[in-house]
Amino acid sequence: MRHLPPLAMLRSFESAARHVSFARAGVELGVTAAAISQQVRALEEHLGQALFLRRAQGLTLTDRGLSYLTIVRDAFDRLGAGTDELFHGRARDVVTLRVTAGFAHLWFAPLLSAFLAAERDFPVRVLTSLWTPMELDDGIDFEIRCGIGAWPGLAATALTRDRLFPVCSPALLDGQAPPLDAAFLAGRHLIHVEGFAEGWAEWGRGAGMTLPAVSLAFDTASLALDLALAGGGVMLGRSCFVDVQLKAGRLVAPFATKIKCAENFYLVERAGERLPVPARRLADFLRAQAAS
């Protein structure tokens, strides 16, 4: 006879252990932190073992709790994969994600290349779009989208914490050393990427400058960046788009002012639904790279 704990206890434990927080587990499962705590306590009594150390500074998994988490997660993964295969017809060995085109080119693609160098037999299907719908399509495992991190029914993890500032080709400086003043922008094309909350006007207010009118606008960041690299103007760049080019010396930042972006890029998945194992491996890799 199997002595299996009730499923509600296991779900509460797995979520609390993954988040190392009763409160965040409660948000994920749609209950209170107290309810999660009660379920975990009941599980510990059922097993006769402490799974968490409860300290003033927060939760910590015990050695036995950490070992049990591995077992529980594997069981949920197998159950979820089998359910999807039998009843939802989703190909669980192919990871499908959607990402905006500019971010896919400038941030995601290099990291995906690094991931696939270690995961050679790992099928990935990447869908790109200029703007993302509010809902996740059934055939998509997770998505990377831009916003403030709050979408109904979805769980979001920040991948970027961006700053906004002008960048240009070093050739445009004509030997001048940054930081420069507003006169540098006179007669130059101001390159703008559409679709974000902040633009040149917000940066100008933050820098205390009166700016000329924007003369070039693109709906994709990669096109705007290509023009800036070619010396075609001064681009208002987001740090996640331009940091690599700045480090390589292909772009420079002519001004000192950088403003904090209200919107950032988030990895988005369905709240309360566990990703299939292959998708979770890629998602966890992206989150780890963003945190490093």
What are the boundaries of each domain within the chain?
7-79, 95-159+264-291, 163-260
pLDDT at 195: 86
CATH 3.40.50.720 for domain 7-79: no
Average pLDDT over residues 147-173: 92
CA dihedral 261, 262, 267, 269 (to 10 degrees): -170
CB 28 within 8 A of CB 271: yes
Residue 89: predicted pLDDT: 53
Fold match between domain 7-79 and domain 163-260:
no
Class of domain 95-159+264-291: alpha beta
At residue 90, does pLDDT exceed 60? no
Q: What pLDDT, on the 0 to 100 scale, is given for residue 55?
A: 86
Phi-psi region of 195 (alpha: psi -120 to 50; beta: other; left: phi over 0): left
**What is the spatial distance between Cα 122 and Cα 107, in angstroms, rounded to a whole number?**
20
The CATH homologous superfamily for domain 163-260 is Periplasmic binding protein-like II (3.40.190.10)
Residue 35 pLDDT grade (very low, low, confident, very high; cuts 50, 70, 90): very high
